[in-house]
Amino acid sequence: MKKLTNVIKQLSAACVLLVITSQTWALNLQEAKLRGYVEETATGYLVVTGKGQKEAVSLVKDVNVKRKSKYAEIANRNNIPIRSVEIQAAKKLMK
């Protein structure tokens, strides 16, 4: 349980870090979400909706690559499966 709490704290910090260090795509991501071009999934990654524009596709790829890298880093540091980190991230991102 302590390990899971630690992972959740690290995941929260990682999410904040991703937003701060990626302000240029964060605004685009927010706009894409507001316009309904992209949405969060239960896997912790984004998908392009049927309304998606060409720009949304590259945005989703960029964001998902960055997320996967951060999730892997957290999983490796805590010696847990990346899937566990993805699920915890999805719960936070879908709130």
Nearest to 64 by CA among 95, 86, 37: 86
Q: Give pLDDT, residue 29.
A: 87
pLDDT in tens, 59-81: 999 999 999 999 999 999 999 99
Q: How confident is the model at residue 21 (pLDDT cuts 50, 70, 90)?
A: very low
Nearest to 79 by CA among 25, 6, 15: 6
Q: In Å, what is the CA distance from 23 to each residue of 18, 27, 81?
A: 8, 6, 29
Determine contact, residues 5/88, Cβ cutoff 8 Å. Answer: no
